[in-house]
């Protein structure tokens, strides 16, 4: 389960692991005060547009106009590279958004660096969201 899975809700298989859902719950708990303060919108597993067949990242921070600002995908170590590759579909469509992929098994967060077209790792760098005003690992 992860970014860019087009699924039909109840028929979705396999279900995300509890660790995956726990990271999402933790992010909501920690990030919502900042998100509300800025009048932004945080949704989980929502499509990035009104199209039901569109890509549905794990977490998306939207502007009040429903433009995706920050896209966060939660994944296992085994799926991390595949999810990062899949993110490029959204990067092409929404180049102004921030992109993060969190490997919850290794507790490493990757942030897309648009200027250098590369993914930076939290093991060597402190990923910060310009929208959430804090090091992203503090929310995870």
Collect all residues with Cβ–Cβ distance below 8 Å to 20 and sequence separation of at least 6. 1, 58, 74, 75, 76, 104
**Quick one: average pLDDT of 25-32?**
92
Angle at 113 between CA 117 and CA 119, to 5 degrees: 75
Q: Rounded to whole angstroms, how far apart are CA atoms 109 and 66?
A: 25
Could you tell me if 80 and 103 are in contact, meaning their C-beta atoms sit under 8 angstroms apart?
yes
For the domain bounded by 15-138, which CATH number is listed?
3.90.1570.20
- pTM comes to 0.86
Token representation of residue 128 = 């910060």
Confidence of residue 106 (pLDDT cuts 50, 70, 90): very high
Q: Rounded to whole angstroms, how far apart are CA atoms 50 and 126?
A: 33
pLDDT digits (tens, 9 = 90+) for 32-70: 999 999 999 999 988 887 777 788 899 999 999 999 999
Answer yes or no: is pLDDT of 9 > 50: no
Could you tell me if 70 and 60 are in contact, meaning their C-beta atoms sit under 8 angstroms apart?
yes
pLDDT of residue 99: 97
Mean pLDDT estimate for the chain:
87
pLDDT of residue 14: 59
Dihedral angle at the C-alpha atoms of 29, 34, 37, 43, nearest 10 degrees? -60
Collect all residues with Cβ–Cβ distance below 8 Å to 43 and sequence separation of at least 6. 59, 60, 62
pLDDT of residue 84: 94
Q: What is the DSSP letter of 103?
A: E
Q: Give residue limits of the domains in the chain.
A: 15-138
**Quick one: average pLDDT of 19-35?**
92
């Amino acid at each position: 389960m992860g970014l860019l899975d087009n699924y039909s809700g109840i028929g979705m298989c396999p279900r995300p692991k509890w660790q995956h859902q726990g990271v999402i719950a933790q992010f909501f708990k920690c990030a919502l005060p900042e998100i509300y303060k800025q009048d932004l919108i945080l949704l989980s597993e929502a499509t990035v547009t009104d199209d039901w067949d569109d890509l549905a990242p794990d977490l998306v921070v939207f502007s009040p106009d429903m433009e995706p600002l920050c896209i966060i995908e939660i994944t296992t170590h085994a799926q991390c590279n595949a999810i990062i590759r899949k993110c490029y579909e959204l990067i092409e469509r929404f180049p102004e958004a921030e992109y993060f992929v969190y490997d919850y098994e290794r507790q490493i967060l990757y942030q897309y660096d648009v200027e250098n077209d590369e993914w930076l790792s939290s093991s060597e760098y402190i990923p910060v969201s310009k929208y959430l005003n804090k090091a992203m690992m503090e929310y995870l």
